[in-house]
Structure 1
Amino acid sequence: MFKKVLIANRGEIAVRVIRTCKALGIITVAVHSEADADAPHVKMANEAHLIGGSRVAESYLNIDKILEVARLTKAQAIHPGYGLLSENAEFARRCGKEGLIFIGPSPEVISKMGSKIQSRKAMEEAGVPVVPGITYPLADAEEAVEAADLIGYPVMLKASAGGGGIGMQVVHSGDEIRKAFAGNQKRATDFFGDGTMYIEKFVENPRHIEIQILADGFGNTVYLWERECSIQRRHQKVVEEAPSSFLSETTRRKMGEAAVKAAKSIGYKNAGTIEFLVDEEQNFYFLEMNTRLQVEHPVTEEITGLDLVEKQLKIAGDEALDFSQEEVKREGHAIEVRIYAEDPKTFFPSPGKITKLELPKGSGIRHELAVHDQSVVTPFYDPMIAKLIVKGNDRDDAINRLHGALVDYHIEGIKTNIPMLKEVIAHPAFRSGDTTTDFVGKYLKTKKTNNAE
């Protein structure tokens, strides 16, 4: 096991990784921007080092500075968390050149799965079902129209790089493609440095269901059941739960086996997630692979009893998985909601100072956060400030506990999406398990103002 690990991230995920490292007796090194000088992850770590200005390009994306700190502190490994550099193949490659263990898959796998076009090709070759579409980059809007005419409308115009719904739009005609192409390509270029676009068939009324996998360096790969992540705004998840109330046991097993097949086909090692779209008949299609820890990993931890960060560390330290597929348990039901500093109607970010923070308490409640009373939420980073996770004996029990926890969750000084989350949890459609990806636009009051980008 490693003696010292640098966490190349911030916020609640940095706190989460530090917590497990401390439990394992690992010395932790935090890095931070000027804006995060007093952040919780900085205070929790054994060591903390300033790496640049407040903007992510000046600090958390500064590979040279992060590696400089790793050399200075004699860290043995780097945990990238999620977001930022976690799926940056060049960063993983640079870590290797410096003699550092990158806690994640190989640079080659990250690169292949980081391109949605390349990943589609890889999954097709592996025999994993994929959404009908193209596996080549589009030259321009007219080529996109030609491809869409062959696939059939509606289609999803998508950026090959990145995620979070950026560069993605449902289109219903050639004219819509012509209007949408340049703008989405520019957004993809601005956010990811890659404007490559492609098209796939739009699956009507889908569910977004993903499979968590773990793979060691000794040929062992297991799936840890599924997470349903269909409740989204602007193609970004806000409510995640495990297990899905929609899947049959047969489909659940088939999806798990497909995820293991996908991971093995590319030589995957460490924790990863295979994301699928599932239609109304429970046909499932590969969407993408996230080569990192997911924001929503706590719900899997709650139903399996596993610490995924611990498993990441042990796999990266060349330890074999100490359990088989048959030994993966599934107990109870867990739901996670993401708390954002944003207007609950428009979803615009709402930075500012938290003047009061009161967290709910009680059985089955878990908090992942990196803010406190008097914390300043800056405009420089993602507006997610916390995650609330509840576990119940079954789905109804979990929903009831979550509803009570949200009622008791008090944040003042900034706007948050808690009112929107309360509306989701209380809605009869959610209670009944009708959780397709169009839930927010179909059922919530926010749908009239759900045009923020």
Structure 2
Amino acid sequence: MSDFKKVLIANRGEIARRIIRTCRRLSIPTVAVYSDADRDALFVREADEAVAIGPALVKKSYLDMENIIRAAKETGADAIHPGYGFLAENSAFAERCVAEGITFIGPSASVIRLMGDKIEARRQMKAAGVAIVPGVDGALSSVEEAIQAAQEIGYPVMLKASAGGGGIGMQVVSSDDELEKAFASTAQRAGSYFGDDTLFLEKFIAAPRHIEVQIAADQHGNVVHLWERECSVQRRNQKIIEEAPSPFLDESRREALCQAAVRGARSIGYTNVGTMEFIVDEQGQFYFLEMNTRIQVEHPVTEEIAGVDLVEWQLRIAEGRPLQREALPSAPQGHAIECRVYAEDPRTFMPSPGKIETLRLPDGVRLEFAVTEGDQVTPFYDPMIGKIIAHGANRPEAIRKMKEALGRCVVSGIKHNIPLLVNVMDHPDFQAGAYTTKFVETVLKDCGQGEMRT
């Protein structure tokens, strides 16, 4: 039984469907909000109630706080789940929910604000004893200051937006001239995307691994980790394949990484579900990258190896209930891999909107899809249409299941990235677990100019 009378989902697509599924199992009525472009979407039909909140443009719909709050009040929703993206890490929205007497299913506004500022997040983690990438600990006021700092750190360096995220507002520079050229344009891009043009510098770590730790913290001071996820298969600094646990870490490094994540989360008084992200160099040294104060796209792989429902955990924590530590196994259970399916060209990564003429999905694996056959993929939102999650007793079995599942997918009417996913699964470096964030470039190069295997 839940304390919540009704939960409004301030999101769309597959994550909205995912939240609806857990709420239905817990007998919690749900409210979907939707833009004009999503009027006929699956998540709208599956929710108990649905409220239109504006036109297709996100600024006038899914980012419109006033319309979302109004929808919650009109339907009697006493809690809002933000999912990921959109308003999930918007501290002003979290504050507004509290002011309106609505539970925000996530951490406090002050913590969201703190970890959304990359400079302050670095300072906090450093104070907590969590290793950070060598760099400047404050905002850069001028290009001259940036050049001086880069010379002290040593090129190459990564110029980053303090408010950045999702791979946006980042640029590698290798000389004073490159930094001078990049400074103004990166600041302008950061200001345009995030409303904050503050920049800072970090040492650039070539070809690292991107590994993150899933944590959960309740309102009673309990903080736990649910092990790590390997997220190094990326295109344009955005993940496309994740797996848990990481094939790179041995037990001692896994324990050190997970305990660092717990220590960092505890130091800021974190509550609810969140993710501590790290980059790991060739020697296995890990450095804090950022914290995502929300549920992640890739949360299913953790659920598969931990045997938990993280959305349910979010709801229970938001209700003020203590974590059920005894619900966790003593070690990861098997191995899980997630492939994100995008409506995009598998080589150029350009979005491919259009009507899905055919969509046949495999059985024997977990499916989290936003669309069905005959649906229209619009150009207004992220082109991810779904996720395939394979779980096995070990990594080779999980890879085998994923390869079989991808081979049984039939999608027509749009371009999609399944051919790229197949080639990743077949690549000897992936099968050996010997890959970094530069791996997709290697796969594309090895494929040459011919057709990718499907």
Please state if 1:434 is matched with 2:403. no
Matched residue, 2:452? none
Matched residue, 1:311? 313
**8 Å contact kept, 1:239–1:335:** yes
> Partners of 2:416 and 2:47 in 1: how far apart?
28
> Partners of 1:184 and 1:375 in 2: how far apart?
37
**8 Å contact kept, 2:244–2:305:** yes
Please state if 1:381 is matched with 2:381. yes
User: Which amino acid in the other structure matches residue 377 of structure 2?
Assistant: V
User: Which amino acid in the other structure matches residue 26 of structure 1?
Assistant: I
User: Which amino acid in the other structure matches residue 394 of structure 1?
Assistant: N
RMSD across aligned positions (CA): 1.4
Q: 1:17 aligns with which of 19, 22, 33?
A: 19
**8 Å contact kept, 2:83–2:295:** yes
**8 Å contact kept, 1:440–1:447:** no
In structure 2, the gaps of 5 or more residues are: 450-454
SS at match of 1:162: strand
Please state if 1:351 is matched with 2:353. yes
The offset of 1:107, in angstroms, is 0.2
The offset of 1:282, in angstroms, is 1.1
Matched residue, 2:421? 421
> Partners of 2:235 and 2:329 in 1: how far apart?
36
User: Which amino acid in the other structure matches residue 260 of structure 1?
Assistant: V
Q: 2:241 aligns with which of 239, 242, 263?
A: 239
> Partners of 1:448 and 1:276 in 2: how far apart?
32
Matched residue, 2:110? 108
SS at match of 2:94: helix
> Partners of 2:181 and 2:429 in 1: how far apart?
34
Q: 2:216 aligns with which of 197, 203, 214?
A: 214
Q: 1:186 aligns with which of 178, 185, 188?
A: 188
SS at match of 1:444: helix
The offset of 1:140, in angstroms, is 2.9
**8 Å contact kept, 2:244–2:301:** yes
Per mean C-alpha deviation after superposition, the further-off stretch among 349-358 and 132-141 is 132-141
User: Which amino acid in the other structure matches residue 164 of structure 2?
Assistant: G
How many aligned positions are there?
447
Q: Provide Cα deviations, 1:272-295, integer angstroms capped at 9, x if missing partner.
A: 000011111111100000000000
> Partners of 1:447 and 1:107 in 2: how far apart?
46
> Partners of 1:345 and 1:189 in 2: how far apart?
30
Matched residue, 1:407? 407
Please state if 1:56 is matched with 2:58. yes
**8 Å contact kept, 1:6–1:70:** yes
> Partners of 1:234 and 1:208 in 2: how far apart?
13
**8 Å contact kept, 1:223–1:325:** no
Paired residues for 1:55-74 under 5 Å: 55-74=57-76
The offset of 1:175, in angstroms, is 1.2
User: Which amino acid in the other structure matches residue 302 of structure 1?
Assistant: E
> Partners of 2:437 and 2:89 in 1: how far apart?
25
Q: 2:334 aligns with which of 332, 335, 339?
A: 332
Matched residue, 2:126? 124
SS at match of 1:187: helix
Q: Provide Cα deviations, 1:105-150, integer angstroms capped at 9, x if missing partner.
A: 0000000000111100110111111000112111232222111111
> Partners of 1:88 and 1:445 in 2: how far apart?
39
In structure 1, the gaps of 5 or more residues are: none
The offset of 1:327, in angstroms, is 4.3
**8 Å contact kept, 2:307–2:328:** no
| TM-score between the two structures when normalised by the length of structure 1 | 0.97
